[in-house]
Amino acid sequence: MPFLIALSTLLQLLLIIHAIKTGRRDPWLWVILFFPGIGSVLYVFFELLPELRRTREGRAVASKILKAVDPHRDLKRLSAELARSDNVENKVNLAEECIHAGMYEEAIELYQGSLTGIYLTDPNIMLGLATAQFHHGNFADSRTTLEELIKHNPKFKSAEGHLLYARSLEGLEQYDAALAEYQILAEYYAGYEAKCRYALLLKKLGHTEKSQQWFKEIVNQAKRLSRGYQQTQKQWIDIAKQNLS
Is residue 156 within 8 A of residue 149, CB to CB? The reply is: yes
Mean pLDDT of the chain: 86
In the predicted model, is pLDDT for residue 209 greater than 90? yes
In the predicted model, is pLDDT for residue 3 greater than 90? no
Give dist(CA 12, CA 7) in Å, integer.
9
Domain-located, residue 230: no
If you average pLDDT over residues 27-53, what whole number do you get? 64
Share of the chain above pLDDT 90, in %: 66
* Same-domain status, 53 and 96: no
In the predicted model, is pLDDT for residue 59 greater than 50? no
* Same-domain status, 97 and 62: no
Domain-located, residue 31: yes
* Same-domain status, 62 and 103: no
Share of the chain above pLDDT 70, in %: 73
* Same-domain status, 59 and 21: yes
Give dist(CA 195, CA 159) in Å, integer.
13
Tell me the per-residue pLDDT of 10-22, one tens digit each, with 9 for 90 and over. 666 766 777 677 7
* Same-domain status, 49 and 7: yes
Last residue of a domain, one of 91, 116, 135: 135
* Same-domain status, 31 and 53: yes
If you average pLDDT over residues 24-47, what whole number do you get? 65
Q: What is the pLDDT of residue 141?
A: 98
Range with lowest mean pLDDT among 26-40, 59-73, 111-125, 225-239: 59-73
Please report which confidence band the pLDDT of residue 26 belongs to, taking 50, 70 and 90 as the band edges: low
The whole-model pTM stands at 0.74
Tell me the per-residue pLDDT of 214-245, one tens digit each, with 9 for 90 and over. 999 999 999 998 888 888 999 999 999 999 97
Q: What is the pLDDT of residue 229?
A: 85
Domain-located, residue 65: yes
Domain-located, residue 78: yes
Give the structural domain span for 16.
Answer: 2-69
How far is the CA of 170 from the CAs of 70, 71, 78, 108, 129, in angstroms?
A: 36, 32, 33, 21, 18
Domain count, the chain: 2
* Same-domain status, 8 and 65: yes
Tell me the per-residue pLDDT of 138-189, one tens digit each, with 9 for 90 and over. 999 999 999 999 999 999 999 999 999 999 999 999 999 999 999 999 999 9
Domain-located, residue 118: yes
In the predicted model, is pLDDT for residue 52 greater than 60? no
* Same-domain status, 64 and 9: yes
Domain-located, residue 76: yes
Provide DSSP, 69-106.
H-TTHHHHHHHHHHHH---HHHHHHHHHHHHHTT-HHH
Q: What is the pLDDT of residue 58?
A: 44
145 phi and psi angles, rounded to 5 deg: -60, -40
Please report which confidence band the pLDDT of residue 73 belongs to, taking 50, 70 and 90 as the band edges: confident
Q: What is the pLDDT of residue 9?
A: 67
Single-letter amino acid code for the residue at 54:
R
Q: What is the pLDDT of residue 72?
A: 73
Burial label, 205 (beta-carbon count in 10 A; 0-12, 13-18, 19+)? middle
Angle at 121 between CA 119 and CA 122, to 5 degrees: 60
Last residue of a domain, one of 69, 92, 124: 69
Domain-located, residue 25: yes
Range with lowest mean pLDDT among 4-8, 124-128, 167-171, 236-240: 4-8
Highest mean pLDDT among 14-23, 36-45, 110-119: 110-119
Q: What is the pLDDT of residue 225?
A: 86
Is residue 94 within 8 A of residue 79, CB to CB? The reply is: yes
Last residue of a domain, one of 41, 69, 97: 69
Domain-located, residue 90: yes
